[in-house]
Amino acid sequence: MSLLGNLRDRAIESFIRKNETVLRFGDVEEISIDSNARIADVRIILRGESETTLFRGYYGFDEGEKGTELVVEKITCERTWINEALKLALNGRSLRFSIADYSGERLSGIAGGIAKIIF
């Protein structure tokens, strides 16, 4: 993998680990990213659970109002009932997150510039 690809994967992993929605439901145990297929597998220990649950996000990138956005096009889960709840909640919509925003805080200076170059 190229240096740029490695940096991009690490930025996506960091974004997932800091995402308020993810943190609201549990603790991230492991993240595996396939940048060629644009798939992120995330193992989370959900609040109140003792075993991890695997979520899979299909992502892409798009230009938005604040610059490049991480677009999560679909999320699936290994647990059937959660998978069905995700389908119902998302109803075919994608989720958009500004790359320059991490947990609501704007990246500043060099970090913001690097994010624009990487994505």
Pick the more confident residue, 9 or 34.
34
Query: What is the DSSP annotation of 67-109?
Result: EEEEEEEEEEESSHHHHHHHHHHHTTPPEEEETTEETTEEP-H
Nearby residues of 94 by Cβ (< 8 Å), 6 or more positions away: 71, 72, 73, 74
Pairing of strands 95-98, 39-46: unpaired
Query: What confidence tens digit (pLDDT) does each residue in 71-109 have?
Result: 999 999 999 999 999 999 999 999 998 876 643 444 434
Question: Looking at residue 4, what is its pLDDT?
Answer: 67
Mean residue pLDDT of the chain comes to 83
